Amino acid sequence: MKADTHYAVVLDAGSSGTRAYLYSWPDHSGDKHELLKISPLLQDGEPMVKKATPGLSSLGETPDNAFEYIRPLLMFASDNIPKEKHKETPLYILATAGMRLLEKEKQEAVMANLRKGINENFDFYFPTGHLDIISGKQEGIYQWLAINYVLGKFQHAEHAARNEELVAVEPLHSSRDTESLVFRPRTVGALDMGGASMQVAMEITSNLQLQGMPEKDKAQVAEINLGCTEHDTEHTYRVFVTTFLGYGANEAVNRHH
């Protein structure tokens, strides 16, 4: 039987512009040590991306134009993903610091116009939770996931490159025996400077490391399970993430002026 191809559309609504990214992946291999093999749709060997400027937050005063602003990006997605797949293709619109800086009423008006326009004009799978203004913490987690996924750091001992440095990770609820240790590639930390905010994220690999942190930093640790079962210790990561609103490139320049 021919393997099926699945698709997804992600609109990253940043402070200086909104970019549409298209992804696809084949059916899962069935190997519990492996994650889905997600890759961008390519054109002439380059990822297909379309951008709208300025940022979504520029529509705070004219929220009724929000859907029209985003329509060309959705047409781009619609034209490049097979029509028969639209109903099962998830669409995510995730807005970041630019929208976080708007007043609540303006945020809600922009989001309401987007939701209405998309539901009336496109068939993508778009439940309520797929349109969101994400926190700096979520933003930090997503960019940490993205860079480590691209670098192959989520491969496990069975599939890691021969020269890959492995680290012994202590699961959160482990009893200190070596049986419960997970050996996997050492992930990289990530520092992301956007337009309006900056995020820093890194993995916590041992309980000792966690215990040595001040309480306010412990609150910034997120537990992320990338596996397909609830108690998949092999694919569970603890990530310390912190965000600095106002320390993105554009905001820093504004402050300088």
Q: Which residues, other chains included, contact 167 with Cβ-Cβ below 8 Å and sequence gap of 6+?
A: 183, 184, 185, 186, 205
Asked whether 4 and 27 are in contact (CB, 8 A), the reply is: yes
Distance CA 50, CA 11 (A): 9
Positive or negative, the CA dihedral 22, 77, 49, 133 is: negative
Query: Pick the catalytic residue: 139, 170, 203, 234?
Result: 139
CA distances for 89 relative to 50, 93, 183, angstroms = 18, 13, 34
CA distances for 128 relative to 92, 103, 239, angstroms = 10, 21, 27
242 strand-pairing partners: 200
Q: What number of helices (H) and strands (E) belong to the chain?
A: 7, 14
Check if 139 is active-site: yes
Q: Which two tokens stand for residue 57?
A: 């937050």
Asked whether 138 and 199 are in contact (CB, 8 A), the reply is: no
Burial (CB count <10 Å: 0-12, 13-18, 19+), residue 98: buried
Q: Which residues are catalytic?
A: 139
